[in-house]
């Protein structure tokens, strides 16, 4: 468990270092700890060390942890692919959904989010043309989906999320993130409530910070390898 504490200290120091290096305001990059395949105890340890935002991909696993950690007041982000029969549980158990990639999912999440609660905060997931993954909407169609989401009363459009193809080379990583940043800036003009550019994982978060990420999603860097 001291490993998690040390990893968080190290990650936060790196975030600050790269914020400074790329003239980003200190504190402008938020840390989302991706806790999929890690235990409730590991999450508790991360929370003890100041992490508030957690990301999960697998619904059943996530709901158990969310339930057992209720008293901690954590903020939960769903970041995995979404099947439409899972939208009820996602809309009731999570605070954020970052992986909206089609209208049907947006509409269903909106239907299932209870009106007396604060709207579900959402990001549209963008798939850059060079990605292998099937998740995410194309750059070209992102605006139309944002428009749909923006018109749904129980959803609050906050930004975009993406998982570019992993690259080892820093400049190649930056080039992908730059494309996303440009799209984000364009969308932000039309949807001024957007404040979240969720990009960068353990292997490429430095390049993501260089290109304007406001939320990096760290799994391995915080919790170690997944089983
Ligand atoms: C698993 C996952 C991460 C974390 O990946 P690491 O490489 O372990 O940091 C981030 N974002 C999404 C969407 C993921 O599924």
State the Cα–Cα distance between residues 119 and 114, nearest whole angstrom. 8
Ligand 1 mutation target, pool 201, 209, 222, most atoms within 8 A of CB? 201
Q: What is the mean pLDDT of the chain?
A: 97
pLDDT in tens, 40-58: 999 999 999 999 999 999 9
CATH of the domain at 100: 3.20.20.10
pLDDT in tens, 118-173: 999 999 999 997 666 779 999 999 999 999 999 999 999 999 999 999 999 999 99
Residue 132 lies in a domain: yes
Model confidence over 209-222: pLDDT tens digits? 999 999 999 999 99
From atom 10 of ligand 1, which residue's Cα is the shortest distance away?
Answer: 217
Query: Does residue 227 form part of some domain?
Result: no
Query: Distance, CA 144 to ligand 1 centroid (Å)?
Result: 26
Q: Which residues contact 83 (CB under 8 A, 6 or more apart)?
A: none
pLDDT at 132: 67
Query: How confident is the model over 185-214, as a mean pLDDT?
Result: 98
| Assigned domain for 226 exists | no
Domain count, the chain: 1
Whole-number Å distance, alpha carbon 220 to ligand 1 midpoint, is 8
Ligand 1, CB within 6 Å, residue ranges: 34, 36, 57, 79, 163, 201-203, 217-221
Tokens, residue 154: 């129980």
- Put simply, whether the predicted model's pTM sits higher than 0.85 gets the answer yes
What mean pLDDT is predicted for residues 77-103? 98
Please give the residue range of the domain that contains residue 80: 2-221
């Amino acid at each position: 468990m001291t490993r998690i504490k040390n990893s968080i200290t190290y990650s936060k120091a790196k975030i600050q270092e790269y914020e400074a290096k790329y003239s980003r305001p200190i504190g402008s990059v938020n840390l989302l700890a991706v806790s999929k395949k890690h235990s409730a105890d590991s999450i508790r340890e991360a929370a003890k060390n100041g992490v508030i935002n957690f990301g999960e991909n697998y619904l059943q696993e996530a709901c158990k942890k969310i339930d057992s950690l209720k008293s901690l007041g954590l903020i939960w982000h769903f970041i995995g692919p979404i099947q439409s029969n899972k939208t009820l549980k996602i809309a009731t158990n999570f605070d954020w959904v970052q992986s909206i990639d089609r209208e049907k999912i947006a509409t269903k999440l909106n239907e299932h989010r209870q009106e007396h609660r604060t709207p579900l905060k959402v990001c549209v997931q963008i798939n850059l043309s060079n990605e292998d993954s099937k998740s995410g909407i194309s750059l070209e169609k992102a605006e139309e989906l944002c428009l749909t989401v923006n018109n749904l009363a129980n959803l609050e459009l906050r930004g975009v999320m993406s998982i570019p193809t992993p690259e080892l080379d820093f400049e190649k990583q930056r080039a992908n993130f730059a494309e996303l940043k440009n799209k984000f800036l364009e969308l932000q003009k039309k949807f001024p409530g957007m404040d979240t550019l969720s990009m960068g994982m353990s292997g490429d978060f430095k390049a993501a910070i260089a290109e304007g990420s406001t939320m990096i999603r760290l799994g391995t860097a915080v919790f170690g390898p997944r089983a």
